[in-house]
Structure 1
């Protein structure tokens, strides 16, 4: 298994000159080669903007941050083993931006056993919010709120025949609860709910159900290629139904994978618009990205950026040579403006972080609001 270590070269040279100052080790297990790798890579890019900038300016309390990243391919068993390695062998002080609902739920026993905080898991599962998970600190809204908003939007624009494609896993079940709330509020029911295998959806049986239902819109609850391949198959079958999917697909890579089928697809969002260049947080991210030769931001990139800003602030508050216990203590009494009044806050009773949901539409190869 390949381990990717990230440490700014300039910072490494500074360390050598200063005489072996201790590093702060942070771990991440996520899909870097599987079905959601395109999105994960953008999230990592946003995270790295913060890490490199902090290290280049002296680190946190004089210490450099090193992120140890392990690829799990979105496989739950690999996620658990990676997390064990990061906690037991690598001695990380915290974990960051793990990806996948089943994957994140599966590692919670290890987090709780060793008292290690997971900051900004890249999932909006309600099970990570309620009941309270003592070691998990969310930096995004829930999938249930996103799915509920998607149904509310469709009903307000007069669409009555709404189908749902639901991933047959804990993520799909969770998001479907939000969709059910949206249908109830609109006094509607889905015309069909099509279940999809998480790893190998059978489009040959799924697509005919959607076409035969004469759906005007499809709320597609799934991840990465499971959604892009499905949408392309649906378009090939002649359906012009409006597609809405959730923020786990809010990545430039998702648009590229959709290709010509991307136009008009709606994606829910959990952070401010990445092209609102007057917003202080967007302005900061854009400046750091341009310094690295990157001229575009994406929602996935911003999720990594915001979660890592939270991590850095927590490490500052935890003091020099932070321990796992001090990180947890700092998180449980935490309020922080990541920019432009976008507050992230935690208490011992609430680890939800940010409550924000919006909609975007793909047009001209970009998300627009």
Structure 2
């Protein structure tokens, strides 16, 4: 069996997340941050890019001396997008690795698994990549969001489709808590626009099969299909719809806003609408994007994706909390420091926390995948 410390290092190497330590700073002096996420598994393509974005900011901070002279050490364990493994990894990170916080887990069921453990050990978690409302309300004491909720994304998408003349809209959603959450947002959107959903179809998170549902959906002649799911199952759903001849609008959510998602779709990517929870990676008018682009160039990264923007922004929020908690950084001081963040300029976006609000940002907009294989706003 591979020792957990060695396993952590191997996974970090695979993800390209080495954070250089000064020769004068020992590992015990580092600020340890834990991450359990789907380095492999169905969400891996997006996870890889969000991790790369976070690494850019952590590397940047470490190169400038870290926090109060201490370097940030991110310990990443692969949970393969499996909620049971997420929980097991969390115990390793909290009890064995003694991390001060957890950071950017992937998946709604995965993050839900963590909430009781966070409370048990009073460990703050920053930047879950899930936007499920169940993680926002009621406010979880130790969960600090950066991205906007999924429900707001789906409501916005349906409103846009209806304004453009589409009224025959159906929903194809994953049969788990994230799918249920997205569906709740869709139903709000349908109610606001005074239309009924054309169909509601589910698919299995672990073994998706669209051989029956795709032809059935095509037969209903929808003007738009909203696909709610992460990573490879969402890709399979879209490819299955295109294969049976469906040629109209397909919308999916920001948890698929990665270059890897576009690559996986191949020549079927063009025209897919993807909701976004951060400004475009090419919005040079946004200070957040300017800073990310500079950091990427300095570290030899030539391509930026929306998932990288989310990773970079989430890392920036965590670091702001660490700076406010310094010099005596522990789990309690970090939690209190995060709740003290008010009207924080993330780079052209205002983020707010309090004891009754851990939702962070409210930014949402639409993008479409262009013929050049990039997200267009």
Question: Under TM normalisation by the shorter chain, which class is it?
Answer: over 0.9
Contact 2:151 2:185 survives alignment (8 Å): yes
* Unpaired runs of at least 5, structure 1: none
Residue 149 of structure 1 corresponds to which residue in structure 2?
156
Match of 1:349 in 2: 356
Aligned residue runs from structure 1 range 276-287, under 5 A: 276-287=283-294
Out of 122, 137, 140, the residue aligned to residue 133 of structure 1 is: 140
Deviation at 1:227, TM superposition (A): 1.1
Which residue is equivalent to 2:101? 94
Q: How does 1:124-203 map to 2 (within 5 A)?
A: 124-203=131-210
1:240 corresponds in structure 2 to: 247
2:174, 2:228 within 8 Å by CA — same for their partners in 1?
yes
For 1:1-369, list aligned pairs within 5 A. Answer: 2-3=7-8, 4-5=11-12, 6-9=17-20, 12=21, 14=22, 16-17=23-24, 22-335=29-342, 336-340=344-348, 342-363=349-370, 364-369=372-377
Task: Measure the CA separation in 2 of the matches of 1:19 and 1:43.
Answer: 27
Q: Is the 8 A contact 2:34 2:93 kept in 1?
A: yes
Q: CA separation in 1, counterparts of 2:120 and 2:170?
A: 42
CA distance in 1, matches of 2:126, 2:234: 27
Q: Give aligned pairs, total.
A: 364
Give a deviation string over 1:209-256, Cα, whole Å, max 9, x none: 111111111000011111111111111111102100000000110000
Q: Distance in 2 between matches of 1:353 and 1:20?
A: 31
CA contact (8 A) 1:286 1:296 kept: no
CA RMSD, 1 decimal: 1.2
Query: Normalised by the size of structure 1, how large is the TM-score?
Result: 0.96
Following TM superposition, by how much is the alpha carbon of 1:20 offset from its aligned partner in structure 2, in angstroms? 6.7
CA distance in 2, matches of 1:150, 1:275: 22
Change over 3 Å in CA distance of 1:20–1:168 after alignment to 2: closer
1:22–1:321 Cα contact (<8 Å) kept: no
SS in structure 2 of the partner of residue 32 of structure 1: coil
- Residues 7-37 of structure 1: CA distance to partner in whole angstroms, max 9, x if unpaired? 433xx2x2x2357771100000000110010
Deviations, residues 154-210 of structure 1 (Å, cap 9, x unaligned): 100001111110110000001111100100111101111111111111111110111
Aligned equivalents of 2:235 and 2:369: distance in 1?
A: 13
Superposition deviation, residue 116 in structure 1: 0.3
**Which is further off, 347-356 or 284-293?**
284-293
Distance (Å, rounded) in 2 between the aligned partners of 1:21 and 1:88 = 15
After TM superposition, where is structure 1 displaced by more than 4 Å over at least 4 residues in a row?
18-21
The alpha-carbon deviation at position 321 of structure 1 amounts to: 4.1
C-alpha distance in 2 between matches for 1:235 and 1:348: 46
User: What secondary structure sits across from 1:334 in the alignment?
Assistant: coil
